């Protein structure tokens, strides 16, 4: 499922969410900057992100831990901690309504019917001392003004819709009575209880085995089609979003470094970080015990970051310009406006190949990353 061979050998199905120019985006984020006040300084967790999700479409957000994916999602949901701040100029629009200035109480009016979220760990998303039925009923009665009997009936229907057998009996059980996969299905049922227009799934399969991962992702795709909702699928694994998304945004150090239609991203990867993520995925055809190609170095500290590209210390293509200037997210003239990347020496271009050849000949990148002849393979 997460094999690079599966991504490359099988055509990625062309997906296209319904687009209506007169209908506002399910979500539009403009110049979003979210900082955290810490004893060491201001952490720029999200730093100038622009994203849009069309109604009925799926956007994949990919990146390592600490890249800002989850902070972005929690900002949209208005569930940030107290030491955070959304910087002036940031804008978050849900179906055309600016929500960036709403407090939590005002934002709660949008939860359930407009926007919902599936978190990474279902055990921390569910209340351990309440039955599944109580948690579903509370959500339904709060948002839909149903009677107790109607809420129980609707809860049973929701559990059935997410593939939980013997749904009536499960209503009386507690979260610890269920397996990890079953708990995640309950969390999905809770998220979909009020038929939201946008669903954010933050690493929904990380704690599950491969078989259950596939089942959960397939379930989310089916429910999205049936409910005609937009979805954001957040993950660290490009293999998860291949074939399941319309577009992919790759984040690094709080910024989007590459954004493209899914098929185009895999066909013509341009940012060195995206390329490094692909190269680190196991290949089915590789011999047993083959060492995976890890990305060298560590993710940067995003407290008062220095000028230059944040990925430069780990990048094989880095040249002196990368250490002095921060590249902006722009589209190449020959690739169309929907494929954008933030790089001076993109992979797969003459500029990029020349930079890599120069660095390889010198034995190191401009940032001091050691290189040898294998770097050009």
28-65 pLDDT, tens digit each: 999 999 999 999 889 999 999 999 999 999 999 999 98
Instruction: With H, G, I as helix, E, B as strand and everything else as coil, classify residue 251.
Output: strand
pLDDT band (50, 70, 90) for residue 11: very low
Return the pLDDT at 373.
Answer: 57
Q: What is the mean pLDDT of residues 237-249?
A: 90
Six token digits for residue 285: 């055809």
- Span 90-116, pLDDT tens digits: 999 988 888 877 776 776 777 777 899
Return the pLDDT at 22.
Answer: 53
* Residue (of 79, 65, 86, 76) closest to 302 by Cα position: 65
Return the pLDDT at 12.
Answer: 39
What are the contacts of 340-343 at 24+ separation with CB within 8 A? 340/258, 340/259, 340/260, 341/257, 341/258, 341/259, 341/260, 341/270, 341/271, 341/274, 342/255, 342/256, 342/257, 342/258, 342/271, 342/309, 343/257, 343/258, 343/270, 343/271, 343/272, 343/309, 343/317
Q: What is the mean pLDDT of residues 139-146?
A: 84
- Span 68-77, pLDDT tens digits: 999 999 999 8
Q: What is the DSSP letter of 167?
A: H
Q: What is the mean pLDDT of residues 133-158?
A: 89
Higher pLDDT, 108 or 279: 279
Sign of CA dihedral 134, 138, 144, 149: positive
Are the beta carbons of 320 and 366 closer than 8 angstroms?
Answer: yes
- What is the domain partition of the chain in residue ranges? 126-193
Residues 147 and 137: their CA atoms lie apart, in Å, by 9
Average model confidence (pLDDT) across the chain: 86
Q: What is the mean pLDDT of residues 168-173?
A: 94
* Residue (of 140, 125, 119, 150) closest to 194 by Cα position: 140
Note the pTM of the prediction, 2 decimals.
0.88
**Would you say residue 286 has pLDDT above 50?**
yes
53: part of which helix (H) or strand (E)? strand 41-53
Six token digits for residue 115: 């926007």
Higher pLDDT, 372 or 331: 331
């Amino acid at each position: 499922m997460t094999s690079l061979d599966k991504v490359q050998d099988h055509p990625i199905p062309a997906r296209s969410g319904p687009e209506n120019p007169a209908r506002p985006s399910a979500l539009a984020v403009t110049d979003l900057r979210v900082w955290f006040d810490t004893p060491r300084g201001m952490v720029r967790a999200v730093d100038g992100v622009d994203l849009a999700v069309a109604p009925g479409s799926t956007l994949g957000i990919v990146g390592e831990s600490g890249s800002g994916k989850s902070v972005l999602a929690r900002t949209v949901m208005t569930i940030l901690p107290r030491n955070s701040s959304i910087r002036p100029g940031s804008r978050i629009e849900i179906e055309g309504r600016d929500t960036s200035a709403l407090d939590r109480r005002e934002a709660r009016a949008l939860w359930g019917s407009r926007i919902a979220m599936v978190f990474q760990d279902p055990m921390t998303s569910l209340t351990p001392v309440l039955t599944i039925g109580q948690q579903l009923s509370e959500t339904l009665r709060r948002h839909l003004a149903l009677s107790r009997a109607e809420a129980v009936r609707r809860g049973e229907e929701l559990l059935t819709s997410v593939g939980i057998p013997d749904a009536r009996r499960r209503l009386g059980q507690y979260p610890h009575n269920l397996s990890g996969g079953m708990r995640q299905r309950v969390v999905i049922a809770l998220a979909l209880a009020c038929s939201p227009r946008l669903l954010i799934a933050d690493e929904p399969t990380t704690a599950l085995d491969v078989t259950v991962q596939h089942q959960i992702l397939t379930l989310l795709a089916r429910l999205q089609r049936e409910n005609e909702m937009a979805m954001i699928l957040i993950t660290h694994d490009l293999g998860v979003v291949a074939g399941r998304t319309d577009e992919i945004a790759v984040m690094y150090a709080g910024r989007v470094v590459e954004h493209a239609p899914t098929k185009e991203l895999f066909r013509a990867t341009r940012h060195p970080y995206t390329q490094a993520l692909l190269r680190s995925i196991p290949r089915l055809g590789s011999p047993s015990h083959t060492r995976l190609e890890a990305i060298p170095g560590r993710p940067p500290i995003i407290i008062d970051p220095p000028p230059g590209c944040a990925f430069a210390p780990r990048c094989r293509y880095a040249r002196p310009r990368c250490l002095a200037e921060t590249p902006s997210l722009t589209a190449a003239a020959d690739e169309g406006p929907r494929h954008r990347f933030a790089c001076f020496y993109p992979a797969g271009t003459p500029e990029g190949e020349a930079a890599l050849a120069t660095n390889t000949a010198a034995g190191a990148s401009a940032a001091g990353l050691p290189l040898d002849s294998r770097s050009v393979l």
